[in-house]
Amino acid sequence: MLSFGLFMASLDNTILNVALPTLARELHASTDQLQWTVDAYQVTYAGLLLVAGALVDRWGKSRTFLVGASVFGAFSLMAGLVETTGMLIAARALMGIGAALLAPSTLALVSTLFTGLRERSFAFALWSAANAAGGAAGPLLSGLLLEHFSWGSIFLINVPIAVAIVLLGLFVLPHSQPRPIPGGVDALGAIVSTVALALVCWAVISAPGLGVGSPLVLSAAALGALLMVLFVRWEARATNPILRLSLFRIRRFTVAVVVSGLVTAGGAGALFVLTQYLQFLLGFTPLQTGVRVLPLAAAMLLGALTAPRLIGSLQLKLTVLIGLGLLAGGFTWMATMTVESNFGNLLPGALLFGLGTGVLVPAATQAVMDALPPDAAGIGSATNTAHMQVGSALGVAVIGSIMAARYRGVLTGSDIWDQLGQWQSAVLQSFDGALRAAGQLSTELGSALVEAARLGFIEGMRLSLLASAGSVVVALIAVAVLYPREWSPAEWCTSTG
């Protein structure tokens, strides 16, 4: 049941990706709006995770889990019924609240219920497999639903799952009385950190369209950075902070959460780009796209099941390095795609991507949880998951913006740009906008526009995948240089004094 809850939250990290071209066509959503349909969920998910971690310790693990499932199901219903891009973005942001309550409570429950070394490694692997399976199953399930139903069905599917989890959980989960926390929950810290992340994401997403030097972009970025600094200063003084800064004195914990954030950023950005590539450039339907993601999902599962054995024989550090190496190789391979490439050319890189992710996630998760002091399971797991979601939100924002900037640069520099006249704005909004414009132009000009748009998209995709590979290489160097080779659970006592 815990795995199903996490599966549902993880599913919504990726189920929307295959539907992005559908949203572009049916709602006429721009690239910026498509990024926000993904990032609205990620921003509230990440921003409220730390509060959720505190609530795990205050309300109790089971209670927080059940409330999260209820909220997630209710706003999934809203997302499935709305009819505009703006309302969809709002519903996605509210779904993130439920996901924020689900993620740390599931990990804290797993950490509490499984205490033996062998069963603990297996439980973390199963938890990670559910997390990876949700992300991997999203594209296929999305394709199946879009083949037979409207795009709203990709959210409505969550509703019966959430109801079943709540009803079953009321009877089978251990329940405890709420534990009062002196000073209450740090709501101000949650608000400031969420607004800061939203401003930074807005600045990054809007930069390709408004210009990096735009006063609005610069102001949003500066205000977001300032709020983040104020958040850290507030957490250092708060009576009951949502972010326990002392945890970052534990080198293993710090390296693990930073690596998780960097890897998630690269993976989320790459998936945002690749699902559009499969449909826009290779011409696959949503269902065909989902089917072609299956090998990646199988590779993820294989990696997750292999991880415990690798950890046992090679230890955590080498296992993490292997996962990072596979991931970097996968992104680099996929960055070699050209306009003439086909799915067969992409597949080896996608398999490396999946296998590396599968190996890496359980190893990094166990590294984080093993490094935590006994009284910080909730806040520590929330901190780790928050870094991953911050990475995911920034990854979609940065990688998507890199792709959009290069796409726009190729089009505005093409020989046909001045001939597009009134269609220039629509062409720059998205690849689908270029296709719609091409249908309204003369045959010769329309064909030239489609070719220019295809070239712009593939060049943007290549550059963005290289950026994803770069983020993983930085993580690999950090682990190789900073990650302790040996570890004892008593290390946190020494690290925290």
Residue 226 CB neighbour total at 10 angstroms: 12
pLDDT of residue 397: 83
pLDDT band, very low/low/confident/very high, at 494 (cuts 50, 70, 90):
very low
Q: Is 133 a residue whose pLDDT tops 50?
A: yes
How far is it, in rounded angstroms, from Cα 219 to Cα 47?
Answer: 21
pTM of the model as a whole:
0.77
Amino acid identity for residue 430 in this structure: S
Q: What percent of the chain has pLDDT over 70?
A: 86
pLDDT of residue 52: 76
What is the Cα 312 distance to its own chain's centre? 28
Q: Which of 111-115, 340-344, 437-441, 484-488 has the lowest mean pLDDT?
A: 484-488
pLDDT of residue 331: 94
How far is it, in rounded angstroms, from Cα 423 to Cα 421?
Answer: 5
The encoded tokens of residue 297 equal 């999902």
Please check whether residue 7 is in contact with residue 301, taking contact to mean a CB–CB distance below 8 angstroms: no
How far is it, in rounded angstroms, from Cα 130 to Cα 263?
Answer: 18
Q: Is 492 a residue whose pLDDT tops 50?
A: no
How far is it, in rounded angstroms, from Cα 143 to Cα 107?
Answer: 29
pLDDT of residue 117: 63
pLDDT of residue 111: 66
Instruction: Provide the residue count of the chain.
Output: 497
How far is it, in rounded angstroms, from Cα 232 to Cα 94?
Answer: 25
How far is it, in rounded angstroms, from Cα 165 to Cα 68?
Answer: 10
Please, what's the b/e burial string for 486-497 (b: 16 or more CB within 10 A of its CB; e: otherwise)? ebeeebbeebee
pLDDT of residue 66: 86
Amino acid identity for residue 41 in this structure: Y
Q: What is the mean pLDDT of residues 293-305?
A: 83
* φ/ψ (deg, to 5) at 114: -120, 115
Q: Is 355 a residue whose pLDDT tops 70?
A: yes
Q: Is 261 a residue whose pLDDT tops 80?
A: yes
- Nearest Cα neighbor of 411 from 453, 450, 451, 443 is 453
Please check whether residue 140 is in contact with residue 293, taking contact to mean a CB–CB distance below 8 angstroms: yes
DSSP state, 202? Answer: H
Could you tell me the CA-to-CA distances from 165 to 88, 108, 280 in Å, in that order?
Answer: 24, 17, 37
The encoded tokens of residue 131 equal 């997390």
DSSP state, 417? Answer: G
Q: Is 389 a residue whose pLDDT tops 80?
A: no
Q: Is 385 a residue whose pLDDT tops 70?
A: yes
pLDDT of residue 217: 83
pLDDT band, very low/low/confident/very high, at 496 (cuts 50, 70, 90):
very low
Residue 131 CB neighbour total at 10 angstroms: 27
DSSP state, 243? Answer: S
Provide the mean pLDDT of the chain: 82
- Nearest Cα neighbor of 330 from 473, 460, 135 is 473
How far is it, in rounded angstroms, from Cα 479 to Cα 79?
Answer: 39
pLDDT of residue 487: 46
How far is it, in rounded angstroms, from Cα 124 to Cα 316?
Answer: 13
| pLDDT greater at residue 191 or residue 497 | 191
Residues 6 or more apart whose Cβ sits within 8 Å of residue 392? 13, 42, 46, 264, 265, 267, 268
pLDDT of residue 384: 76
- Nearest Cα neighbor of 267 from 104, 103, 43, 469 is 469
Q: What percent of the chain has pLDDT over 90?
A: 19
pLDDT of residue 235: 83
Q: Which of 164-168, 235-239, 326-330 has the lowest mean pLDDT?
A: 235-239
Please check whether residue 74 is in contact with residue 126, taking contact to mean a CB–CB distance below 8 angstroms: no
Q: Is 488 a residue whose pLDDT tops 60?
A: no
pLDDT band, very low/low/confident/very high, at 463 (cuts 50, 70, 90):
very high
Class of domain 2-186+238-496: mainly alpha
pLDDT of residue 490: 42
pLDDT of residue 12: 75
Amino acid identity for residue 34 in this structure: L
How far is it, in rounded angstroms, from Cα 189 to Cα 365?
Answer: 25
Q: 3-state DSSP: the chain helix, strand, coil percent, rounded to 5?
A: 85, 0, 15
